[in-house]
Every structure is written in structure tokens, then in C-alpha cells.
Structure 1
């Protein structure tokens, strides 16, 4: 059923992915500004990955030409893969925290005070902030749920691209 819907309305699927990403970002802002949770450096990187997935999926849904929407969908897939990697790394740090967890600099402090080649490894090393589990839903942390969402987006985008690549239809006829 899902694969039929992907074949029949790929632009709607891409628009739905974009809207889902915006909803996730809004929920993250709610957790930050209403609940009072402060995002760690890895959480901020995941937010940027969500923004990229939303923008690329939104652009893909807006473009009529098959080549354009497939290109933007491929970029959304790459951003979803990157977001899944960061979320998986943070989940791993939460399950197996380092023996010495220090609260390092915040994301912007790392970027401003260190060259990018040194700041990026610091972000993925995590800090005491990244290992903390401040909120859970059904036993999963924010990082766990973020990983599942990124993987879901990635699988749908991969199915969309694979099915569109196999179809013999081109142009606007393939975009219901």
C-alpha cells in the first residue's frame, strides 16, 4: 500500500516528509523554550540535518521536472543519513557513556573558538550534555526517536528514488 502511494504521488510524499521535519523542529523548540531542556551540540547538529531534509524535500516536492525532484530527494536522503549517523552516535554515547564525561563548550563556542577541522571532532566526541537523558517517551530518549525518524525518512526517500529510477515514465507524467 505504501509503495503504491509512493508511485502514485511522490510529490505528496516529499511534501509530507518536509512537513514532518518542520513538526519535529517545532517540537524541539517546544522542549527547549517551554519545557526548559537545553540542546547539546549533537542535538543542534541534528536540528540542522532536519532543516536540510525539510528544505530539500520541500524543494523536491515543488519541482515538476523528474531530474530536479530526484536530485533534491537525493540531497534530502544524504541529509537524513547524516542526521541518522549523529543521532546513532548520541544514542551510543547515552547507552555507553565515557568514564570521564565533562561538560565541554557549547556548539557555538566550539565553532567560534576553534578551526572547523578541530571543532567537528569535538562535536562528535560528545560531552556530558550529550550523554544526559533528560526526556523519554516509551522508553526512548530524544536521540533514539530522532534516529528512528531519520531512518524512516531515509527509507521512504530511498524507496521513492529507487521506484522512480526504475519507472519508464519521465517528466510531469510521473509526478501525480
Structure 2
């Protein structure tokens, strides 16, 4: 099994990661539309990170890169996954604050996007609000941002696999 995974191409890694992104978005949409959990602004930003990763991996799957180009897709994937890890980590930090230190609730994301410049919207969302500090439920002791963080950490294995495959291809193509 290990030997076969080591032989994977960047395209195969990208397809695996793209499937995982679809799974993450499917769970998020299920929780919103079936279970009735309304996403806070940080949840929405985490979804954007999943979609950005899916875009990078989808392009890599279509392109089927080899060598250095596969490494570029791997690095781009790590950047988008890293953004998701940072957002989920920030969300968990907000949820860990004592009630007296939780920021007050702000306006909704739709309203902020209509009124404020994008830079202020990003700053406001990352500073957090009371609604982002609420724990909407737990599964096996973890809140949703905790599970999202785990999802991003698992997803990070895909661009790392793409990088290793690209390095392996590059070494295999180098003159002896």
C-alpha cells in the first residue's frame, strides 16, 4: 500500500483532495440547510478557503502537472489550506474566550460587504464577533471549528503529497 501511494502522480493527489473538499462542503451545507445551523462570518470564510483549495486542486487535476509545475500547485494548495487552518484556529480561540472577553456581535456579513470596503470587512471578521464565539454544538467533544481544523490538517496532506510527487518526478528526470 505504502509503495503504491508513493507512486501517485500530482493529478491523483489533486483528485483525492478535490473529493475531500467536496466532502467538507457537503457536510457544511448539510449542517446549514438540513440541521438549521446558521454559519457565522468565520464559518463562511472557512468555506471560502475550502473552495479556494478545491479550485487549485481542480485545476491541478485538469492540468495533470509534472515536475516543477506540480510543485507550484502543491505550494498554492498549501497556501489555501494554511488560510483555512488559520481561520479555524482563530475561530477556536474566540470560542475559548471567557464570556466577559467575547467581542460584541457585529452586523451580518452581507451588510458589511455592502457597506464597508473589503479590507475592513476582512479585519472585522478576523477580529471576531459574539456570534463566532458561540458553540453551536459538539461532536465527540469538539466544536465545528475544531472538526474543520482537523479537516484542513488532513487536507494539507494532499498538497504535501503533490510536492513530494513533483520532487520525485524531478529527481527521476534529472540526468544521472
Aligned 1:1-176 pairs, distance under 5 A: 1-2=1-2, 4-66=4-66, 67-97=68-98, 99-167=101-169, 168-170=171-173
Shift of 1:129: 1.0
Structure 2: runs of 5+ lacking an equivalent: none
- Cα deviation digits, residues 95-139 of structure 1 (max 9, x gap): 125624322112222222111222211000111110111122111
Shift of 1:38: 0.5
Distance in 2 separating the partners of 1:3 and 1:125: 45
Residues 69/63 of structure 1: CA separation in 2 closer, same or farther (3 Å cut): farther
> Which has the higher relative contact order, 1 or 2, with Cα contacts under 8 A spaced 6 or more apart?
2
Contact 1:7 1:164 survives alignment (8 Å): no
Distance in 1 separating the partners of 2:160 and 2:130: 34
TM-score, scaled to structure 1: 0.86
Distance in 1 separating the partners of 2:137 and 2:14: 29
Contact 1:60 1:69 survives alignment (8 Å): yes
TM-score, scaled to structure 2: 0.86
Contact 2:11 2:65 survives alignment (8 Å): no
Distance in 1 separating the partners of 2:44 and 2:36: 15
Q: Tell me, what secondary structure is at the counterpart of 1:28? A: helix
Contact 1:63 1:69 survives alignment (8 Å): no
Q: How many residues align?
A: 170
Contact 1:59 1:69 survives alignment (8 Å): no
Distance in 2 separating the partners of 1:23 and 1:5: 21
Please, what is the CA RMSD of the aligned residues? 2.0
Structure 1: runs of 5+ lacking an equivalent: 171-176
